[in-house]
Amino acid sequence: MNKSWHISRRRMLRGVSAAMALPYLEMMGDRSISIAGIKQHPTARLCYLYFPNGVADGAWQPAATGNHGELRKLNRWMHPLEPLKRDITIFHNIWTPRGNGHGAGTATWLTGHGYDEKRIDAGGVSADQIAAQHLGKQTLLPSLELSLQGEGFFSRSLVRNTISWVNRKTPAPRDVEPRIVFDRMFRTRTNAPITQAVLDQVLEDARDLKRQAGAEDVRKIDEYLDSVRSIERRIQFSGKQTKRLRSQTALQERFKRPEQNRPKEHREYVRLMLDMIVLAFWADATRVCTLMLDHGQSNRYFNFIDNVHGTWHALSHWKDASGKTEDDDGVTSWTSAKVKRDMYNRVTEWHHEQIAYFLNRLKHLDERGTSLLDRSLVLYGSSLADGHDHSARNLPLLLAGGGCGNVKPGRLLQMTEDTSLSRLHLSMLHAAGIDATRFGDADEALHELHR
């Protein structure tokens, strides 16, 4: 390298001293961090909604279907979804052969592997993070990993609080505060404002520098230019979405920056987090989201539902009505297993109301002549079937949306034999345009799902 000249670092830093860091170059003496650039490409959105503690046997079975599985009528516990039955697929006979239970089942719901608790090893990258690796380069954020703040003894259990894995041993961090989620998508400032004029100056300086640099420095300057462009795109994104939101009067009331603290009412908290996903998909801030509706062994009380008493986990063990088992709170008891099962089903029904709210939001947002729901795939389900038995077979699973025309909804997809959940995950990746040949224990997609 010719050392007879040096970069004017003062000139380079003039535009970005409070906002961005320069890449390390051989002609400089310090290091910094660069950010990957982002490009846009329209494709399907993928959303994974997890709930714990399973459902009572029979609570997921439609009341009536046609000769080819068409959903004619949903059961009483699924009735909030009745107006949406043409937009959903219900599955029968899908299970998780490698992982089950409140701990391992939660951790591996999206990985398709078994769980090694001693090594904190979920066996592989989760489906959402595989999708984020492919789709995340096209959006502001690669993915969003959301969760409600857990309730109960296991609220700090890693294995019960994780469905998304960056690699087999690294869980993705979760956001539980709606305002933080909103700010990640829409706020462009830290301590100093970034203006388009500043960015134009930075880009021009970097191009001048590139003409004088060696091969290794050219590579690093290219990374730097990507960093600048990503910030430039963030500014443009925020401005564009602000104008767009102002033009959508129906959205203004709900899609605004949340208050600093989580809502005290659980229903409002759930819906606000779901709104963050709708907003992320509508604004194309990301195309991959996960949301845990509680940790995998939730002891949340649903006493705010009429005629429901006791914790979610206790209710899931509906065959024990004495209130004296290790799963109970030591205070609540029930008159019979039938009464307890009814309360368990009411909790299931309450969650279906929230999912119906979410799907209706997506369905009534237009994107280039079709609904946002038609451009999405939303998997809603649990890692347990019947909660009392901790069953792995016939998991409660519901897939909503059309995946940009790649999925045929409105039916019960009844498999003739036990079918791995990994095949469903592989199919969802394919529907999103991701050419994966294998996922978990599956090397074949669920072909019956597609048109």
Least confident piece of the model among 160-169, 218-227, 429-438 = 218-227
Check pLDDT > 90 for residue 395.
Answer: yes
Q: Where are the domains of the chain?
A: 1-33+193-261, 45-176+263-449
Q: What is the DSSP letter of 24?
A: P
Q: What is the DSSP letter of 115?
A: -
- pTM score of the predicted model: 0.79
Check pLDDT > 60 for residue 336.
Answer: yes
Contact 275, 283 (CB under 8 A): no
Task: Say which residue, 229 or 381, is predicted with more confidence.
Answer: 381
Check pLDDT > 90 for residue 146.
Answer: yes
Which amino acid does the sequence have at 378? V
Spatial separation of the C-alpha atoms in residues 419 and 92, rounded to whole Å: 9
Which class is 45-176+263-449 in CATH?
Answer: alpha beta
Distance set, CA 152 to CA 53, 123, 216, 327, 441 (Å): 13, 27, 53, 12, 33
Sign of CA dihedral 58, 63, 69, 72: negative
pLDDT band at 223 (very low <50, low <70, confident <90, very high): low
pLDDT digits (tens, 9 = 90+) for 81-112: 999 999 999 999 999 877 678 888 999 999 99
Helices 215-247 & 196-210, crossing angle to 10 degrees?
Answer: 160
Q: Using only the alpha carbons of the chain, give its radius of gyration.
A: 24
Task: Say which residue, 230 or 365, is predicted with more confidence.
Answer: 365
Nearest Cα neighbor of 202 from 25, 6, 15, 9 is 15
DSSP for 44-110, written as a single string = -EEEEEE-SS---TTTTS-SEE-TT-BEEE--TTTGGGGGGGGGEEEEEEEE-TT--IIIIIHHTTT
Per-chain mean pLDDT for the chain:
82
pLDDT digits (tens, 9 = 90+) for 11-23: 333 333 333 334 4
